[in-house]
A and B are shown apart, each in its own frame.
Chain A
């Protein structure tokens, strides 16, 4: 079932993304980054260095967290991404806990992955509080937190469940706190500033630390390891494109902690675009003059609309082609029908983000896994409404059709499908509207669309950017709703139209 669905989706995608496949044959190097500013900046720097004459680099920004990037790198969806040594040791190889950089390098090599030397700064995790609150409570170290079990802690979602995150920290310091919330890292600063939280996790190079004047608690038990920034890359690049690796390694030892903080600050506080900040650094440090193309809002909007429509359109089309026959079959075989309805119902209960991540091992990152996930989401409303539409046909009508001597196919085409059509259309409409909203999550795994500016907007605390994604997404949902109602009026025979559109 899944295999066939996958095949169907893959087939549909074939035509659409053949251009992407071609680009990959020309050996474009793909750089990934996680969805926080420093990672995006490092990705931009790598892209700027690699985008020299004779080689081409593409940066797929803010692809979510460690697990998504790591599996994308292993699958070859991306070739390079910035990572931190502590994260590799404690999170990626949590079971083995390699200690030294040499151990890490050996472990990575066994997965076909290479690592540059450290870039020059250690971006460790730290726990931050407002200095006023800390001094009031007499807190200076992480150990001191244990004396105040009622403090409200807020940690980034990744920190909440990482091998080197909250569970292990709680154990290492015997912290008693129960009032712990997981939230987006960029929102955590605002919650701390607003007084909704007492302590949060931060990266030591975060621009906000100095901006908000936060106090970092001393890691008195030396719990956090070093998080030296490095680039991970696929080892095969050393053979296929040694020049690219040489370019990448120019960044080794070139950025100290102060410099990284300043770059982060330029983006987050100074509100400059990452490509601009990255280009500035490359010019200053390497005398490299990269042209920075900043798209106009209109061209950005056009591109995202195209991406979003492709996500929604392809997944919905595939869902219609699969769900209507399944619904018809379920109506004909009541017992098996319950099983089929149950199965599509289960797909619906999986949270959107989880479903997206579940698709990555099958489809990698980008539009394909997002389309597959949206396809699964769209099945239930269409299957259920098709089933309900057919089952709801009155006995006298189905008997009349049978007594008339119409063939089975004839009854389906002339009687059953037309009579069930209002219900089927309503199901498709529901699926489309849900789909348009859910597709914004696709940006987390590199699918683009209206989710992209929303994600960036949350990261940069930029309401304008959030609206740049949210408003068109809402407008598209309304437009879809209107289009279906118009279609109902145009294509359904008058007696079958709903009262509202009559």
Chain B
């Protein structure tokens, strides 16, 4: 009772608790573990609870050494300063999806932390299976029972007190999305103790589990070893709270990956705290092989240990749920009523189309005006730079490399933010799962889960957010296959290039050619997804997924997460994009000692390579190089090399500010009008450029050029997104793959049309 902040109750209420929570409760003084791990099934409301407990300060980062997104927050609570770590949702600790694989090592590395198991009261029986698994880890834990109100509305009244009594750990009813029950969670955290394992396994298994428990870091690992569920590839690992320190018998194990044996706390914590840590160590592999020999030695050879263990857990969870639930008259699940319309076999396809179109429309219609606004700001900045009394090279560097580069990066903010907000909303509302369900038949044909339809559709707008959205897929191999196929789908930046070139070379067939290009892009993407299936190996995942109940997500939380994700992307992709822009600027600007520009020299050197495509003119080859920054740059550089560049107009301070103001008004206006209308604005092709271009290449060459532009190296931002999600080697692979595919397809196109 000596919390310094609690001596004065008013101070405590002001400083100890999270916003809007009375922290001046007696529990304020009891200390609680400094790190809380939120564990629960997907969509259970873990993030909402973190947000409710911490008030604000939510952060997003990757789990060390992985690309798995983990949210965390620091909070000053009545019981001390706490870091809340929101682990990815999982149905079991033994899950094999990349997100699920983070769970066990995270918990294992931090045995004295608190496990906050968030349980969905509407799926109590199923969620308690995970709870029972967690009790076997022997870590201090509490259970936050979420959605009790919704369960009650469906006729199931869940009694937290009964559950607490049976489980032996604090159980608190919360409403995570509105933040009720937070002070109770804080109070429960300070009285959390390590639970006793409470699943009773069949006697023949129990004996084996006891033997394995002697060498395992905890009971969960012992059971997993017997069930053949041990994550063998992962370093298993951690110090054990040994209840029988004298009986350790695994000192002989000689292994690379070692498991330090844990010392007991909990019931015997006083003596345990002083007892030396037992140094017996055992590796995950040793444990797994011990589990295998126990399996082989089971008295009843026909007994399947995994099924028997799963069944014992489910029975225990079911009994717990039965005891804690009073079932009354049940109203109809409102989600089912909605599903009857949305998932109707006749209406469904329209719902699917409408869902995809809405996502696409809002993502790009809401962000486009702001991209245009940022473009105007960029132009004004470049204009101001013109007026500075600097040498020409410095002016060029500032406007051509610095402003251009920062502009390229910042231009992604509106798109990414809008996309994350919309996807976050649809995901939490339960809509995305339905879209995936409706698209599943279609996507199964190309060997992908239904969810993959979203990245593919978003890719029509911009490849970068599409690659980011592959996170929605459970399996890493699926994510990779989709992400590496996406660059072939024509994004909106490629459309102006097609329009210009088609108008210049095949004016009478422009529409047909452009449609053809879109079809080619999709065909190549789908064929790529097929090809990568064999290249990257089959995934071991299952397409089965939950269709969560429809819910109105907390909008502020969704927006906050969208901003955090956008920021995380800029932080990791900004640097590479800037470097690429500066490199292209240098290429275009710098001169060789002889007087020729670096750009022309490089382009002329590359030109023979492109002759088989009908693109022998160095000016066209040259225009493709800066196109690697962004495909629409191809037009600008074609204009530069064929007609000479347009000079940036110098701007005064006042006129510049006026221009920015006008652009801002336009953007606001555009956002509002985009809510109900969607006009894809394409600049009218430049007649003079078209005329000059048609002299430089044949029709066949022009089609080859369009096909090449469609398929070659995705823009630097796409590459940065691939690098962020999958690493540098896959980014390099993507560069090589797209170049090869583009070259091959353009060659074919030239042969056919040339």
Chains A and B come from one and the same complex:
no
Using a CB–CB cutoff of 8 Å, the interface residues on chain A facing chain B are none
Using a CB–CB cutoff of 8 Å, the interface residues on chain B facing chain A are none
